[in-house]
Amino acid sequence: MPDHDLAAHGTVMAASDEFFADKENLLNPAPATFQPHTFTPKGQQYDGWETRRRFGRADGHDWVMVRLGTAGLVRSVNVDTAHFLGNYPESCWLEATCADGYPGPADLASAHWFPLVASSPLKGGSDNLFDVDVPWRVTHVRLHIVPDGGVARLRVFGEAVPDPRDLEDIPFDLVAALNGGTVVDCSDGFFSPPSNMLQPGESRFMADGWETARRRAPAHDWASIRLASPAVPVVAEISTRHYRGNSPDRIALSGSADGRSWFPLLAETPVQPDTLHRFRITTPHEASYVRLDSHPDGGIARFRLYGKPTSLDDLIARWRATTPMIP
């Protein structure tokens, strides 16, 4: 299944320059747009981050610093230059750090930064995709563009690795992407993928949830999710927000220790359009996986599953294994 955008719900902390277009546009979850002949006192308006011309006038290059919304292992990066055609950077490189707490830009100046993407040429008006093979957990990234120009969006895809100290001995959302919940398989994701259900916050519009194609034969849709840690689920929340003529008729939940053999958590239960539903789960069994069934098909905006972990051993081991080695 696709990796989670670790930068989603993050923060653009600082930039060397943002004269023509604001740095905060980089993390806008919607695709970049462009409307010709929309001029401000600073020139044509662009939906992205754009710096002033530096080439031939000043030494150096421009950069922007981003705090990721989710700490994790980075697998790929997209430096999207959509609509930047005569004003995109010649090249870029990306570095990262792993920091505890909530440091500011000044604190991070002395942090240990390690490379994610080597210096690479960029194409204008297109996605620029880079694979990443770094074994360290990342909390912040710094994008360097050479020498200047515009970038529409920055996407940092990977696997969430939450801090086990934040989850120890408390109930939490076992399927949340922020906590390490991961979709491992599904029957269909024609209109939008099931990983959308695990995002933080409320669904913003219909395509921000999981929506399947219309079924024309007897069957139903499903998505299986690996929990952040083994736990006994106690409360499930199913939101069909924005799905008014295309919500499921019924939903059901099953649990599993291994993702193969399933036991019931919640029997088939009717759901309503555009509604937040809350269900108590009374099955006292530990689960490491959960399967959400959508009968027969339709859209689910958000899925939350709350419970107290029975073991954080795997998460702790992963946290330690991904902590960067500082020279």
pLDDT tens series, the chain, 327 aa: 557 899 988 999 999 999 999 999 999 988 999 888 888 888 888 899 999 998 766 778 999 999 999 999 999 999 999 999 999 999 999 999 999 999 999 999 999 999 999 999 999 999 999 999 999 999 999 999 999 999 999 999 999 999 999 898 889 999 999 999 999 999 999 999 999 999 999 999 999 999 999 999 899 999 999 999 999 999 999 999 999 999 999 999 999 999 999 999 999 999 999 999 999 999 999 999 999 999 999 999 999 999 999 999 999 999 999 999 876
pLDDT at 253: 98
Domain coordinates in residue numbering, the chain: 4-160, 169-309
CB atoms within 10 A of CB 313: 12
pTM for this entry: 0.88
- Please give the C-alpha separations between residue 295 and each of 82, 212, 270, in angstroms, as whole numbers: 39, 11, 9
- What is the torsion angle, in degrees rounded to the nearest 10, for the CA atoms of residue 209, residue 214, residue 220 and residue 222? -30
User: What DSSP element (H or E) covers 317?
Assistant: helix 313-321
Task: Dihedral sign for Cα 104, 110, 111, 114, please.
Answer: positive
pLDDT at 44: 80
pLDDT at 230: 96
First to last CA, the chain: 35
Secondary structure class of 177 (helix, strand, coil): helix
The span from the CA of 74 to the CA of 116, in Å, is 8
pLDDT at 1: 52
| 169-309 maps to CATH 3.20.20.140 | no
Q: Which one, of 142, 191, 184, lies nearest residue 159 by Cα?
A: 184
Domains 4-160 and 169-309 share a fold: yes
| 4-160 maps to CATH 2.140.10.10 | no
pLDDT at 2: 57
pLDDT at 35: 86
Q: Would you say how long the chain is, in residues?
A: 327
pLDDT at 327: 67
